[in-house]
Structure 1
Amino acid sequence: MTITDKKKVQHSLKPSAHPYLNGAWTPNFTEYTATEMTVIGEIPHDIDGVYLRNTENPVHEAIGHYHPFDGDGMLHAMSFKDGKAEYRNRFIRTKGFNAEQEAGRALWTGIANDPTLSERPGWGAQGHVKDSSSTDVVVHAGKVLSTFWQCGEGYQLDPHTLAPLGTVGWAPAEGISAHPKVDERSGEMLFFNYSKQPPYQHYGVVDRNNQLVHYTPVPLPGPRLPHDMAFSENYSILVDLPLYWDPELLEQGRHHARYYADQPSRFGILPRYGTADDVQWFEASATYVLHWMNAYEEGDEIVLDGYFQDNPDPEPLPGLPKTVGKMMANLDIHSFQSKLHRWRFNLKTGEVQEQRLDERALEFGTFNQQYAGRKSRYLYSVWGEPNWFLFSGIVKHDLETGESFSLPFGEQRFGSEAPFAPRVNAKDEDDGYLVSFITDMKEDRSECVLIDAKDIEAGPVCRIILPHRICSGTHATWADGASLRKEKNS
């Protein structure tokens, strides 16, 4: 292994018994650039692009209770070209990160604490927390965009070097939520945000040149907690789900999410460049959904796949203090019981049909983004380690035949979200690789794996050993190398 750069970031974090500051969630403080890494197998020559993953890495001692979603954002990137790979990891230099580095300590408290504990005004829907930009990552207009789940400014980075490129110039005052959607066919990016002030939600479109070209309110009945959106070729899909901050407690300044099982799930469907007057609302079974997959148009209907939670408000895990047990349950796929589910919305009749696609507890799915907004056949979900926010394996769903195929990562081996990377000159939808970082607790190391998407049960075609054991985290994405070069040269 050749390490061409290594830098340790100043931190004040002390050893802790906190379950999300240990084991596979042990934070990293050192930034690496590495080439010529040890490879088990052989890196294929027909993969070209960059795999990016965002992780939670708290740098300073928390003010109050630490929640893993409070951690400072750190991006990990593995670049592939001509059978070779390069690895980099860098903290996202947010305004909050830089301020705390200068102070040498935390200045903002996290999502599970009294807002008055923050020393400075914050960001996002809660208003008092730090925009850590540690949740989602996409690539749009040739640049990485990292975002914060409770809405933030949106930070751009170079996809190969991870050099900081500042915040996006078009971010509205209400911010950008995690999970903006990139339409690879049009080059547009669709996004939403939410807040505690009327109209409580906005929706926007950014063109292929990274210019905000559409921004409109999509009003909600009150403060809500949408986490994701979806799109088809001509429509965007926003939601109003019955898990949101208790209005009475919110008046007291307390942000306590409550599930209202007697209220329906509401889906707002509008044309891509539509306004509030164009939204058609549909009602469906009560649930909460963290992540949507693909959506497409079929006759008069829009078909949407996602992960329906059978138990959006799980009881605390037993044997732990109530606060800790509740946090652990809220992070555990097996506790909130997310199941692959399909909704069909008839734009003419207003009818909604629902269908369960898999009874296993699954989440954090990916699919070939070249098919986003159009009917796709394959979907790749993960299953979790019971009682933890850790991924233990991948399931490939054939949505045409109903078949599925599984790949466990192995004992004490925990993966990351595994986006699909099309082969160079791919011939069909699943002609490519699934890419994931794996943390192996028995070997005390991390590796990047490539899995042939046509035969996931065969296991990785290669494993690239990283220079350190990385912390677990949230979301990942794939960026095509040829597309990145085209953007850079345009």
Structure 2
Amino acid sequence: MEITRHKPVRASLKPSNHPYLSGPWTPCHEEVDVPELEVIEGEIPADMDGIYLRNTENPVHQPLGRHHPFDGDAMIHAVSISGGRASYRNRFVRTHCFEAEQIAGGSLWGGLMDPPGTSLRPGYGAHGGLKDTGSTDIVVHAGIAYATFYQCGEAWMVDPVTLETLGKAPWGPLDGVSAHPKVDEETGELMFFNYGKHPPFMHYGVVDRSGRLVHYVPVPLAGPRLPHDMAITKNWSILNDMPLFWDEKLLERGIHAARLHEGVPTRFALIPRHGEPEDIRWFEAAPTYVLHWTNAYEDGDEVVLEGYFQDKPMPDPLEEAGEYSHMMAYVDEHSFQSRLHRWRFNLATGETREERLSDRIVEFGMINPAFAMRPSRYVWSTTTRPGWFLFNGFVRHDTRTGEEDVYRLPEGVYASESPIVPKKGATREDEAYLVTFLIDENSGSSHCAILDAGDIAKGPICRMALPHKISSGVHSTWVEHDQLDRAAQWRRTALA
């Protein structure tokens, strides 16, 4: 395997037995290019033609205090597939904070679990004391990849082919950009939100296909909240106000501790895509917390939303984890008990109906992107190792029949969030591939794997060896090469 290794970054991180700095979460610090990956099982489907991009919480420096798995620096791993061949590269996202710590040679900011005053410099985002890492999400809009941070930092632009950091988005507002902006490929628009500790506590915006902020309005809330994701339909954007948010009394002392506020319902804000605050339709629902939505669409007088309802948003500590008991519970799906769920908002009556779609504990789901904002039948979710934020398998849910197709990875092998890639000329929704990264603790290696999305139970139909063991991570996306070509053509035409 031909490998180009780039100049090492400055790193001060020491070996650790911390559960999220070791094992499958051991950070990877080298940046490499591999022009062609070795196929070690099966063959690469000839009709796959795009790039799999995955963001990673990948710390470089020794933490100033206690480490949380969401404190890491952003590293993007990318596998480009075309013509039955695949290449690989990975790069850190050169945010301002990353570069500042490279100059300093060590950490300058505390983490999510640290007390006020830990950071050596003023922080960023909704929290106000954290490093802006861009390490949560990655989406592609108008030919540019955007790495975003869940606590509302800048939206960091990355070339999806070379992974070069291109700087922060020129359209990013002062209030920042949350993770999980949504892209409508048909209109070329990107929708986003942010949140913070000052009125109005939330904003919503729209960026057009040329990268201009064309709409930005407040979404007034009663106080600081902690939304994580949003959803879109053809005509509506869906934001949320949930009862799990920072304790107000502790917040007055600068302590950011989330708690479930009993008796407070879940509220959903439906705003027309280019609507004003007075156009928002509010709907109430059962109290919960939701990390991620899978799809939303319009059905007559109803707007339908699907995602993962948490039965226990305030989980009990995992006592066996000792000093990490609270942290381990808050990132463990089996502790907060997330299950696939559907909400139906009736625009005529103002009523909300809910239904459980699966009793299985799952999260981090994907759909066939060709069915985004349309009624979709299938959701591909990940399962996790109890007690851990580690994906150990996949479930394909048939939301019409309730049937579930399950694939469980071998013991000690863990997956990544896994986009669904439609097969060329597909006529069925599940006529697609599932692409993922695997971390094999048994062999100390990593692979890129492809599964048949219509029959995941048979396991990978192809595996490619990566040049190093990568760290477990968070969100991912797939972009077709022809999407990038169309975006480049549009830019050339617009500039002509």
Contact kept, 8 Å, 1:236 with 1:269, in 2: the verdict is yes
Deviations 1:142-172 (A, max 9, x none): 0110000000111111111101111100100
Q: Is structure 2 residue 312 aligned with structure 1 residue 350?
A: no
For 1:80 and 1:304, how far apart are their aligned partners in 2?
A: 32
For 1:253 and 1:429, how far apart are their aligned partners in 2?
A: 48
Partner residue, 1:380: 380
Q: Is structure 2 residue 14 aligned with structure 1 residue 14?
A: yes
Partner residue, 2:493: none
The Cα of 1:481 is off from its aligned counterpart by: 1.1
Deviations 1:166-218 (A, max 9, x none): 11001000000000011122211110000000000000011111211110000
Deviations 1:87-108 (A, max 9, x none): 0110000000000000001011
Contact kept, 8 Å, 2:226 with 2:244, in 1: the verdict is yes
TM (normalized to structure 2)? 0.97
Contact kept, 8 Å, 1:133 with 1:152, in 2: the verdict is yes
Deviations 1:235-268 (A, max 9, x none): 0110000000001111111111011132100011
The Cα of 1:429 is off from its aligned counterpart by: 2.1
Partner residue, 1:204: 205
The Cα of 1:65 is off from its aligned counterpart by: 0.9
Summarize the alignment of residues 33-44 of structure 1 with structure 2, pairs less than 5 Å apart. Answer: 33-39=33-39, 40-44=41-45
TM (normalized to structure 1)? 0.98
Q: Is structure 2 residue 292 aligned with structure 1 residue 291?
A: yes
Contact kept, 8 Å, 1:184 with 1:369, in 2: the verdict is no
For 1:345 and 1:78, how far apart are their aligned partners in 2?
A: 39
The Cα of 1:425 is off from its aligned counterpart by: 3.1
Paired residue total: 489
The Cα of 1:444 is off from its aligned counterpart by: 1.0
Identity %: 55
Q: Is structure 2 residue 294 aligned with structure 1 residue 301?
A: no
Partner residue, 1:58: 59
Partner residue, 2:187: 186
For 1:52 and 1:311, how far apart are their aligned partners in 2?
A: 31
Contact kept, 8 Å, 2:184 with 2:190, in 1: the verdict is yes
Deviations 1:290-332 (A, max 9, x none): 001101111111111110000111111022335x100000000
For 1:342 and 1:123, how far apart are their aligned partners in 2?
A: 34
Q: Structure 2: where are the runs of 5+ without partners?
A: 491-496
Contact kept, 8 Å, 1:294 with 1:372, in 2: the verdict is yes
For 1:83 and 1:344, how far apart are their aligned partners in 2?
A: 42
Contact kept, 8 Å, 1:48 with 1:424, in 2: the verdict is no
For 2:82 and 2:367, how far apart are their aligned partners in 1?
A: 22
Partner residue, 1:248: 249
Q: Is structure 2 residue 266 aligned with structure 1 residue 272?
A: no
Partner residue, 1:46: 47
For 1:396 and 1:210, how far apart are their aligned partners in 2?
A: 35
Partner residue, 1:465: 465
Summarize the alignment of residues 94-105 of structure 1 with structure 2, pairs less than 5 Å apart. Answer: 94-105=95-106
Partner residue, 1:156: 157
Q: Which amino acid aligns with 2:274?
A: Y
Q: Which amino acid aligns with 1:423?
A: K
The Cα of 1:35 is off from its aligned counterpart by: 2.6
Q: Secondary structure at the match of 1:30?
A: coil
Partner residue, 1:172: 173
Contact kept, 8 Å, 2:36 with 2:88, in 1: the verdict is no
The Cα of 1:231 is off from its aligned counterpart by: 1.0
Partner residue, 1:25: 25
Deviations 1:208-230 (A, max 9, x none): 11211110000110000000011
For 1:22 and 1:304, how far apart are their aligned partners in 2?
A: 37
For 1:343 and 1:222, how far apart are their aligned partners in 2?
A: 24
Q: Structure 1: where are the runs of 5+ without partners?
A: none
Contact kept, 8 Å, 1:184 with 1:370, in 2: the verdict is no
For 2:445 and 2:322, how far apart are their aligned partners in 1?
A: 31
